[in-house]
């Protein structure tokens, strides 16, 4: 959500910056055009007064109502040099500390100059600049508000889409973004769109992907359940028939393969029940340390159990035993001894000293029918899938990692809300 809020402010800041840049460019252009026009008018007035003064000078009469003088002390040096070369010109300057517009022309090798007040013109230009700045600030504020409003609408829709995407990634395949009511509702689909809405396209693509993924996973679940049920009956008959075979190596080989296939079928049935979401935990108060010790002993697999701090918790003893049995079996099948089980409060850690978990299992979690790294041996990959499913039923936080000195590490963190007195 913070990233989307950042996007909202970035959009608003971008639109405001662009507006300020456009206003600055337009302000400079307007200032330049108006300044040229106003200064041009003042120059015309100065040139007209200069012609009037020259006319009176030629006839030896007074200069009338214009400010004129020969070689006045305040005449700007560049204009004086221009007149010395026999040319006429005008430029802004000052006279007696006040801004004026000078105009001068040669008269008997001297400079006849006139000046008119220039302060009002500068005030007009300053007022113009102030008006331009005020309009620019107002426009920037309005554009910023409009940008925040539009960006807020976009960010809210993106936030909704992102939230649905997170729910889907967490396993809620029924989550959908949907279309908002009104112009984006069902009526909109009955007539051509007047504009292209990229955010709506993303939302629709996410909904379509979720629906397709849900349909595919449901098909896989039905297939797994159907195969397991279909195999169960013939396997039971095959096991009974194998028991009638004469003792010997062929009978042992057949029984081993049938038992392995029977276990696989039972795993598939268990996974199908977990996938259906109908499994419910039968909670009871148990001493976690003692329960782990009994579960490890029941597997008859060698493992070092260390209880740092025991604690009474509410959990399903049978499901917890199933989780630990699968983890120990996985550690012995794919790892190397010693296998260590540590209990500290509500946390149970199982580790081996083998090649460790593959990177994709740590990142994506266990996947059925995929074991990942060949270094961890062969198998159908259902053991850890069952562990993850049973942990979800018990609301246990399950993490897979590798120890720094080698070996796979599985951490079970029972929910703190179920802790009871004792321990």
How confident is residue 17, by pLDDT bands cut at 50, 70 and 90?
Answer: confident
The arithmetic mean of pLDDT across residues 84-113, rounded, is 85
* pLDDT exceeds 90 at position 190: no
* pLDDT exceeds 90 at position 124: no
The arithmetic mean of pLDDT across residues 102-122, rounded, is 83
How confident is residue 267, by pLDDT bands cut at 50, 70 and 90?
Answer: low
pLDDT at 370: 54
pLDDT at 249: 79
* pLDDT exceeds 70 at position 186: no
* pLDDT exceeds 80 at position 284: yes
The arithmetic mean of pLDDT across residues 319-326, rounded, is 89
C-alpha span between 95 and 73 (Å, rounded): 9
What value does the mean pLDDT of the chain take? 78
pLDDT per residue as tens digits for the range 157-168: 777 888 888 887
Residue ranges covered by each domain of the chain: 2-143, 173-278, 284-418
pLDDT at 132: 81
Topology (CATH) of 284-418: Heat Shock Protein 90 (3.30.565)
* pLDDT exceeds 50 at position 191: no
Least confident of 82-96, 255-269, 288-302: 255-269
pLDDT at 181: 43
Rank 38-42, 67-71, 284-288 by mean pLDDT and report only the highest: 284-288
pLDDT at 70: 85
Q: What class, spelled out in words, does domain 173-278 have in CATH?
A: mainly alpha
How confident is residue 421, by pLDDT bands cut at 50, 70 and 90?
Answer: very low
Least confident of 24-28, 204-208, 228-232, 276-280: 228-232
* pLDDT exceeds 90 at position 343: yes
pLDDT at 241: 73
How confident is residue 344, by pLDDT bands cut at 50, 70 and 90?
Answer: very high
Least confident of 7-16, 70-79, 375-384: 375-384
Percentage with pLDDT > 70 across the chain: 78
Cβ 70 vs Cβ 107: under 8 Å: yes
The arithmetic mean of pLDDT across residues 55-62, rounded, is 69
pLDDT at 172: 73
How confident is residue 380, by pLDDT bands cut at 50, 70 and 90?
Answer: very low
pLDDT at 235: 65
pLDDT at 306: 92
């Amino acid at each position: 959500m913070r990233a989307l809020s950042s996007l909202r402010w970035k959009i608003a800041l971008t639109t405001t910056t662009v507006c300020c840049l456009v206003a600055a460019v337009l302000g400079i252009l307007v200032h330049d055009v108006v300044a040229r026009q106003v200064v041009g008018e003042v120059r015309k007035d100065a040139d007209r007064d200069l012609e009037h003064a020259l006319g009176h000078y030629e006839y030896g009469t007074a200069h009338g109502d214009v400010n004129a003088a020969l070689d006045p002390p305040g005449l700007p040096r560049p204009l004086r040099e221009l007149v010395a070369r026999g040319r006429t010109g005008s430029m802004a300057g000052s006279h007696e500390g006040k801004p004026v517009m000078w105009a001068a022309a040669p008269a008997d090798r001297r400079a006849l100059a006139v000046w008119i007040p220039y302060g009002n013109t500068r005030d007009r230009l300053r007022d113009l600049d102030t008006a331009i700045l005020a309009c620019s600030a107002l426009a920037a504020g309005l554009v910023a508000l409009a940008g925040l409003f539009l960006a807020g609408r976009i960010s809210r829709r993106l936030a909704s889409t992102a939230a649905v995407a997170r729910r889907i990634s967490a396993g809620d395949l029924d989550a959908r973004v949907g279309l908002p009511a009104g112009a984006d509702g069902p009526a909109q689909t009955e007539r051509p769109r007047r504009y292209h809405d990229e955010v709506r396209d993303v939302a629709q693509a996410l909904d379509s992907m979720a629906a397709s993924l849900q349909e595919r996973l449901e098909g896989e679940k039905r297939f797994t359940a159907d195969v397991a049920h279909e195999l169960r009956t013939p396997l039971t008959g095959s096991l009974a028939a194998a028991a009638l075979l004469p003792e010997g190596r062929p009978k042992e080989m057949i029984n081993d393969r049938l038992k392995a296939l029977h276990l696989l079928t039972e795993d598939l049935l268990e996974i199908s029940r977990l996938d259906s979401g109908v499994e419910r935990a039968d909670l009871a108060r148990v001493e976690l340390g003692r329960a782990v010790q009994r579960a490890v002993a029941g597997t008859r697999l060698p493992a070092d159990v260390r209880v740092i701090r025991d604690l009474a918790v509410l959990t399903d003893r049978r499901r917890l035993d199933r989780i630990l049995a699968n983890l120990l079996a996985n550690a012995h099948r794919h790892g190397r001894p010693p296998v260590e089980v540590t209990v500290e409060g509500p946390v149970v850690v199982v580790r081996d000293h083998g090649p460790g978990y593959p990177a994709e299992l740590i990142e994506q979690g266990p996947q059925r029918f995929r074991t990942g790294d060949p270094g961890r041996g062969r198998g159908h990959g259902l053991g850890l899938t069952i562990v993850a499913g049973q942990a979800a039923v018990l609301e246990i936080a399950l993490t897979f990692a590798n120890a720094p000195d080698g070996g796979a590490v599985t951490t079970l963190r029972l929910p703190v809300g179920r802790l009871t007195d004792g321990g």
